[in-house]
Structure formats: C-alpha cells, structure tokens
Structure 1
Amino acid sequence: MLIGSKIKRLRLKNGLTQEELGARTDLSKGYISQLERDMNSPSIETLFSLLEVLGTSPKEFFDDDIKNLKVVYTPKDHTIHVDKDAGYEIDWLVSSSNEKEMEPVYLTLKENGQFKRFEPSLAETFIYVIEGKIRLTLGQQEYIAETGDSLYYEASDHHRLTNIHQGISEMIIVATQSYL
C-alpha cells in the first residue's frame, strides 16, 4: 500500500505545508517530502502522530476510501425541508454536504417567500437564479437578480433572500462551510 499520496492528500486538505506538518510532528520537511513520495516509510508511532495532526484515525486512513467514495447523488439521497410559514422549500442536493467544503442546495421560494436570515460568517455563497426574481439583502445593501442571473458574495454580514416575483422563484445555491 502506498501511503504517501494519502498523507499528502490529507495534508493539503488541512491546508498545511510540508514544513508546517513537520513542525507539528517534530519531523523535517525533507522527511515529510520523502514520505509523500513513498521514498521512506514511517514507524507506527510516527504514522499515528501524523494521523492525529491530520485529523484522522488509523481505521479511516486505511479504509479503502475509493470504494466508499460517493460521487453521484440521486434524488433519493436528497433531504428536503418545507417551511410553509416562511414560504420556502429547501432541497439539500448532497446528503453529506455538512461534512464537505461546499453545501449545494435547490431553493424554491413561494410568492412573497423569504429564506431565513443568516448571521455573518466566513462562508462564501454562489446563487444561480433558475426562475423568478429575488432580492438579496446583505447588511444594508439590496441586490436584485432574476432568471439567468448569478450572485456571488462573502457572507460577512447578515443576509436574507426574498422572492419578489409574482409566482415562485427557484435557484441553486452553493455555500462554502463557515469555519468560525
């Protein structure tokens, strides 16, 4: 088993350089580089130390994640929530999106519907309006988007989506996870 590429993938996923990973595990950058290129093999103690810093367990590390990798999500994988009072329906398109970097959803706003008010965060949000016309209130600013338009913003202020179309508005929203 080649573990070097797995270590590198986890290091990059955690946003660490080889030097940073080495500093956190008392290993040199050169040694980390050799491990990632499978030119050296770590002792069990060193491997466990690396896995702890990289936020994974030995079991997760050695599981064949390629077999368990889910790529296609069908409608049966979706989770749907309807809020009749607020006038929206949200469809989480990827069932495990709360564990991933991005959270894609399909949002339908009924006439005069509003999606909940969000608190400021470090998230970034992309919206593509499939049908209708919406208003994004971002802090004190308002932005209007209609069929075919896209919005992209940092969620660093309070924000809310409102349907201003006579009829329903539908959109795809992809938000990055907030790491506060």
Structure 2
Amino acid sequence: MYSIGQKIKNLRLQKGLTQEELGERTDLSKGYISQLEREISSPSIETLFHLLEVLGISPKDFFDEDTLNQKVVYGEEDVTTYADEEQGYHVTWLIPESNEKEMEPVLLTLAPGGAFKTYEPSGAETFVYVLAGNVTLTLGRQSFVAKQGETLYYKASEIHQLRNESTQETKVLVTATDSYL
C-alpha cells in the first residue's frame, strides 16, 4: 500500500515532471512538493484535488487500490495470433491491447521466403532480436541482415520491411514504440 506522498511522486514521475514543474503548474513551491512526497507535510483536500487534476487522475482512481495493481505477468491465455500463409508470416501479440501502450512486443515467425508487411515511415523506434534463423531488414534503400543472437535497432524513418531470405524458418522478437504493427 502506497502513501499519499509516494502516489503523488509516482504520478509526477509517470508524467515526466520535475518537482519544480509540478510546483509551477499548481502554484506550489518545489520544497512543498518535496515535503508532500516525503510525507513531511500533508496537503489540504483542496490542494490534493488540485494536484490530482494537474496530474490527470480523479480522486476516485487515486484512492482506488485496484488502479495500482497493474498486470505484470502475461501468459499464453493473453496472446493473440494472426497468420498470413500467402505472405509467409505468423505474428503473435504478446500483450493484450499492446497497440494502446507505448511499446508493442510481438513474436514474428517468417517462413522461408516469407515477408512481413511493408510499413510507411513513422516516428517509431524498433528493436528486433533474432531468436532463430536470419532476418533481412529493408530500411529505405538499404538492407541489413541479422542472424540468430543478433539485434536490429532502428528508427522507422523510411519505408521498412522484415523478410526471411533464407531456406529455414526465422523467429524474431519485435518491440516497437508508437503504432508500428
């Protein structure tokens, strides 16, 4: 169970705010924010509600312990799969609703000669770890090949696609920010 001060600090950090920035947005001093977070001071109800408004959370959600119980471990029952036999790929979304989150981890299996979708340029950053086989990344006019145990990491700033140009099945773990997949 978190204290009010710890909850305020966690929310502030989730929003990427410094104590000084939160203080400026709430007309409170950096020192007072620090005292609240360290449980040296307690806010009035009015001050607490103003802090919560600035931090983007309702008082109900702030005090509801269930909102703090995020799911951390995901199993087979949580995955979603899709196969495109014609293009030669099978994709498994490892986290439900991952397209609503900041990262989208998937397990991608490419048949020999298989290719995943071609994506338009975006602001996404993409991490690809090769679990088995070889994968070819076409990024704009360049191609990069990674084999088992190697990693590709790139900004998706040009048209890009993952392909398996080998004669064996390829498995890769792909994690992308933004809305890559």
Q: TM-score range by the shorter chain?
A: 0.7 to 0.9
- Give 2:151's aligned residue: 150
- Give 1:9's aligned residue: 10
1:52 and 1:141 map into 2 onto residues whose CA distance is 48
Question: Is 2:111–2:170's contact at 8 Å kept on the other side of the alignment?
Answer: yes
Answering whether residue 69 of structure 2 is matched by residue 68 of structure 1, we say yes
2:140 and 2:28 map into 1 onto residues whose CA distance is 46
Can you list the C-alpha shifts for 1:34-68, whole angstroms capped at 9, x where unaligned?
11111222223322222232222222222214873
Can you list the C-alpha shifts for 1:136-169, whole angstroms capped at 9, x where unaligned?
1112221111222111112232221111121321
Q: Percent identity?
A: 60
The equivalences for 1:17-32 within 5 A come to 17-32=18-33
Residues 124 and 5 of structure 1: is their aligned pair in 2 closer, same or farther, counting only changes over 3 Å? Answer: same
Can you list the C-alpha shifts for 1:118-137, whole angstroms capped at 9, x where unaligned?
23333322111111211111
- Give 1:171's aligned residue: 172
2:154 and 2:67 map into 1 onto residues whose CA distance is 34
1:82 and 1:67 map into 2 onto residues whose CA distance is 35
Unpaired runs of at least 5, structure 2: none
Partner amino acid, structure 2, of 1:34: Q
Partner amino acid, structure 2, of 1:59: K
The equivalences for 1:1-180 within 5 A come to 2-65=3-66, 68-177=69-178
Can you list the C-alpha shifts for 1:79-105, whole angstroms capped at 9, x where unaligned?
112223332211111224334432211
Q: What displacement does 1:106 show?
A: 0.6
1:153 and 1:97 map into 2 onto residues whose CA distance is 20
How many residues are matched? Answer: 178
What RMSD in Å do the two structures reach over aligned CA positions?
2.1
Residues 121 and 57 of structure 1: is their aligned pair in 2 closer, same or farther, counting only changes over 3 Å? Answer: farther
Partner amino acid, structure 1, of 2:5: G
Q: Which deviates more, 97-106 or 69-78?
A: 97-106
Partner amino acid, structure 2, of 1:70: K
1:121 and 1:48 map into 2 onto residues whose CA distance is 38
Q: What displacement does 1:3 show?
A: 1.0
Q: TM-score, normalised by structure 2?
A: 0.87
Partner amino acid, structure 2, of 1:177: D
2:31 and 2:78 map into 1 onto residues whose CA distance is 43
SS in 2 for 1:161: strand
